[in-house]
Structure formats: C-alpha cells, structure tokens
Amino acid sequence: MKIKSAKTLIGDWVFVIICVFIAIICLLPMVNLAAKSLSDTQHLIRHEVYLWPRGLNFEAYQTVLSDAKYVRAFIWTAILTLICTLLSLTMTTLCAYPLIFPQLRGRAAINIFITITMFFNAGTIPNYLLMNDLKLLENPLVLIIPACMSVYNMIIMRSFFYGIPDSLRESAEIDGASFIQILTKIYIPLSKPVMATLALFYAVGRWNGYGDALMYIKTNKQFFPLQLLLYNILNNINAVEVAAQEGFMQPGLKESLKCATVMFATIPILLIYPWLQRYFISGVTLGAVKE
C-alpha cells in the first residue's frame, strides 16, 4: 500500500475542509427556508428564526396543499417534466448516434451547424414571432417542442458513444444487425450512466423553468408550471389585492407561506437525485483521463 506524504495528507484535508465549507454555504439558505416554513408566525414577526424552527407549525404547508392551484400546477409540472425528459433523451440519442459513423456524408458540416446553435440564436423577439407563426402561443406544446434537445447534452452523449469500442458495432454489423438494432441492443444498454446524467439535467431544467411559460403563456393558467405560479406569487407579493387573494395579509403568515411554496417546489426534484446518484457520478466523469 502506498503511504501518502505529509504534504499530500495536508492537501487532502484542506480540500475536504473547502468542500465541506462550500456544501454548508449551499445548504444554509435551504435550511433557513425550511425552518421558516415550519415556524410559528409570531416568531417570524420577531425575526427569531434562523436555522431551526421555532414553535413548530404546519399551517403554511396545509394552506399550500389544500389550495387547488398549487396541486394542479404540481401535477402538471410533474407530467410536463416527465414528457420533456423522455422526449429530450430520445431526440438527443437520435441526433448523437448517427454522428459517430465515419461513413455519414457531411458529418463534419452537420457537426459545425449544430455547434453554431450553441453560441448564436435569433433572440427573444424573433423566437416569439416564430412561436406565434407556428400557432404555439397559449399552447402547452410551446413548453415541450422548442427545448426538446440541448446541443451541449448531445455532445456529451456523442462523446460517450465514441468511447464504446467500435468492435462491438462492427461485430453486430457482421451478424446482420441494422443501425436501429445496434442502437437499441448495444449503445443504449451501455449508456445508462450518461442517460441518467442527461435525464437529471433535462428534468431539473424543465422543473425549474418558467421563462418560456412566462413569455408564451399568458391566459391559459391551467398550463402554468409550478415555478411560474411561484414566480407570480413572489413577484406580486407586495400588491395588496394579490396578497389578500393569496392569503398573505395575516402578519407573519406571508413569510411562512413564501418559504413553504419554495420548499413545495424544490423538494420533489431533490428526491430524484439519490436514485440517479450512482449513474450520475459515472456520467459527470465522462472525458476524464483513464489509466
């Protein structure tokens, strides 16, 4: 067993301390929100809540869970996230897979054209006019189709496909397997790490997204994702009529409900990570130097 030198051990401990410090900084806002959402309003009014609930109270969560618009937005966002994740993975795979074949005509030009879209886009107004011409405004498809594939994620998957030995594909071709059979029988089963990683990226991006809904959906409130509903509530919290409608007029309850709605929108996506962690670690190390 190789014994580490004193300098190496000190460096390891410094690195661990830095990582722990960064983790604490990232967790403190979440812990503070959770504590406020579970605290009694009187303690919130006196600003006595920091990292631990004071006067345990579930009234804010009862208000959120009993409100039909929150539950409806939660269900719709979950369905939307599932659809977008599956569609995005499908489109990303179908785009990345052909680009690994040297015999594909124009492969270099296709790669260049696809990569250009990472750095240049038409802009907000042309995109809005395009959605309008396509009759997608006020349509739930506007939340699905425009962002159904990320070029960056496609490049990650293509790089992963490059790492699969060509001998597997060539042996399958000799046995008479078609391109689709090679994809479904060889590449996809061997690509669980990158699939899980990209699924997490797509799911988190869609769950937390609200900009496209804010821009393209104005009147069909049944298609408001959860994050847009939360944005509207927090953005208009100071308006008296909105505050009264949302139940924020009671002293202290405003802060508690704000924190509860944020936690309500954040916790579900956090629960997905432990299920994908073992694949995620393998996926994010894609491209690392291997010995």
- The whole-number pLDDT of residue 242 equals 47
The torsion angle over the Cα atoms of residues 253, 254, 259 and 261, rounded to 10 degrees, is: 100
Distances (CA, A) of 199 to 155, 195, 245: 14, 6, 37
**Residue pLDDT, tens place only, 222-279:** 888 988 888 877 776 555 444 445 555 455 566 777 788 888 888 887 787 777 666 6
- Look-up: residue for tokens 């967790």? 27
Domains annotated for the chain, with CATH where assigned, are 60-284 (1.10.3720.10)
Going by pLDDT thresholds of 50, 70 and 90, the confidence category of residue 86 is very high
Highest mean pLDDT among 92-96, 239-243, 249-253, 287-291: 92-96
pLDDT at 278: 66
Q: pLDDT per residue over 145-157, tens digit each? A: 988 888 999 998 9
Tell me the C-alpha distance between 57 and 70, whole Å.
20
Query: In angstroms, what CA-CA distances link 53 with 26, 196, 237, 245, 250?
Result: 19, 35, 23, 27, 19
Q: Which residue has the tokens 């139940």?
A: 247
Q: Which of 254, 218, 183 is nearest to 39 (CA)?
A: 254
pLDDT band per the 50, 70, 90 thresholds, residue 285: low
Q: pLDDT tens for residues 186-201?
A: 999 888 888 888 988 8
Q: What is the pTM of this model?
A: 0.80
**How many helices (H) does the chain have, and how many strands (E)?**
15, 0
Who contacts 147 (Cβ-Cβ below 8 Å, separation ≥6)? 84, 88, 205, 206, 209, 212
